[in-house]
Amino acid sequence: MSERWARTFLTAYRFAGAAAYPLVGPYVAWRTSRGKEDRIRRRERYGIAGRERPEGPVIWIHAASVGETIAVVPLVESILDYGVNIVLTTGTVTSAQVAEERLGDRIIHQYVPLDLKPAVSRFLDHWRPDLAIIAESEIWPMTILELGARRVPQVLVNGRLSDRSYKSWKKRANIAEALFENLAHVVAQSDVDGKRFLSLGARPVTVSGNLKVDTTPPPADERALYTLKRQIGARPTWAAISTHDGEEAVAAEVHAMLHKRHHGLLTIVVPRHPDRAEALAAQISGMGLKVVRRSKGDRIIADTDILLGDTMGEMGLYLRLTEIAFVGRSLTSEGGQNPLEPAMLDTAVLAGRNVQNFRETYQRLLDSGGAKLVRDRDMLAGAVNFLLTNEVARHEMMAAGAATVEEMRGALALTLKSLEPYIQPLVVKSRLKGANGR
């Protein structure tokens, strides 16, 4: 594919919009489905603002979903200390709730516009951002091109490219380069991510580490925690969190294998997508196990086998109920989920071998003894059994994970240093406007 062809494609994309391209149009439609929209604020997805633009410089920060939103909260708070206005966009209802809970009215929250020219143009015409900061791997061609055409600096922070995404972009290297040249700076999570962005044409690229390491542990409602702990009592527990299809059944099978050996064992299963809870409860009950659902307010009693954590935003609650956590999307699915939250909360981390999306984080935990990878169900059962049986080994693993997280901190400071050349002129501009206003 020639560079000329790539630029022709992107020019056509910019003027025709995502709907003109079969690979992109369905993705945009998918993004707005699956119950992720706030129907009252749907107009924001078409770039129609729900608020007035404030006076002075505006920084637009985008974080797609819950994980990215939590990761950028400390960054947002640090930028707010400079006295610059922030418009934070997210793509889901739950991430909007996180923004409201953690940042309140200190920022302006909007739902991110669809990656269609009319929507993006309306959004940019209204907010007129002076700087755009995009978190992780949100590479939206139309948005990048429109910001580039308006000469708005764009910085990708906490940048990450999974194996699959990188291979996909490499097949379209000229398109990638024509897009990534619009980025003023890429702040990558790891050396591997940094090299990948460089090979795709991004300049300059620096490596900061993972912003998620610099976040606080996920919170828990103290009253709910107290209630559940009283119901569980002294029973041994372990958890399978952020699970994907097939992993819940594996967790239930592990429970069946171990519950006679560990009297009163309670297994906590937290599916990545709680909307699967009805089917999961029926499936696990069909295996002869007694299930209670957190969303129903069911009480944990003596013969309860499985607590199904089918709620959003309560990972901190579930992790505080155990000292052992298997992290999903790693045994029957690929890519893995982030192990940092359990490690932060002094939890021994187990996972399958398919953890490519968090390779560096897992490697650090494995090297320190804070995590262990398992091959299959039987190996998972053996690891859980060992940790339940050996308190000293379990506590050593928990401490190693927590210590590793502390050693990995520092991404926030490095990210702010990379952003400083773009933020400082806006700080000066804001202060001058304030002085003139007086």
For residue 19, the model assigns a pLDDT of: 42
For residue 9, the model assigns a pLDDT of: 59
CATH architecture entry for 222-408: 3-Layer(aba) Sandwich (3.40)
The whole-number average pLDDT for the span 393-421 is 98
Q: What stretch(es) of the chain map to CATH 3.40.50.2000?
A: 222-408
For residue 4, the model assigns a pLDDT of: 60
The whole-number average pLDDT for the span 393-422 is 98
∠ CA(312), CA(318), CA(324), 5° rounding?
A: 135
For residue 416, the model assigns a pLDDT of: 98
Indicate the CATH number for domain 40-214+410-427.
3.40.50.11720
pLDDT confidence bin for 298, thresholds 50/70/90? very high
- Examine the pLDDT at 308 and tell me if it is beyond 50: yes
Annotated catalytic, 52? Answer: no
User: Among 18-27, 137-146, 348-357, 369-378, where is mean pLDDT lowest?
Assistant: 18-27
For residue 430, the model assigns a pLDDT of: 86
Q: Mean pLDDT in the chain?
A: 92
Q: Which residues contact 345 (CB under 8 A, 6 or more apart)?
A: 217, 218, 316, 319, 320
The whole-number average pLDDT for the span 179-189 is 96
Extract the tokens encoding 225.
């925690």
- Examine the pLDDT at 17 and tell me if it is beyond 60: no
- Examine the pLDDT at 10 and tell me if it is beyond 80: no
For residue 28, the model assigns a pLDDT of: 42
pLDDT confidence bin for 6, thresholds 50/70/90? low
- 203-233 pLDDT, tens digit each: 999 999 999 999 999 999 999 999 999 999 9
- Examine the pLDDT at 196 and tell me if it is beyond 70: yes
For residue 39, the model assigns a pLDDT of: 82
Q: What stretch(es) of the chain map to CATH 3.40.50.11720?
A: 40-214+410-427
For residue 137, the model assigns a pLDDT of: 82
The whole-number average pLDDT for the span 243-272 is 98
Instruction: Return the percentage of the chain with pLDDT > 90, whole number.
Output: 85
Catalytic residue among 68, 146, 247, 314: 68
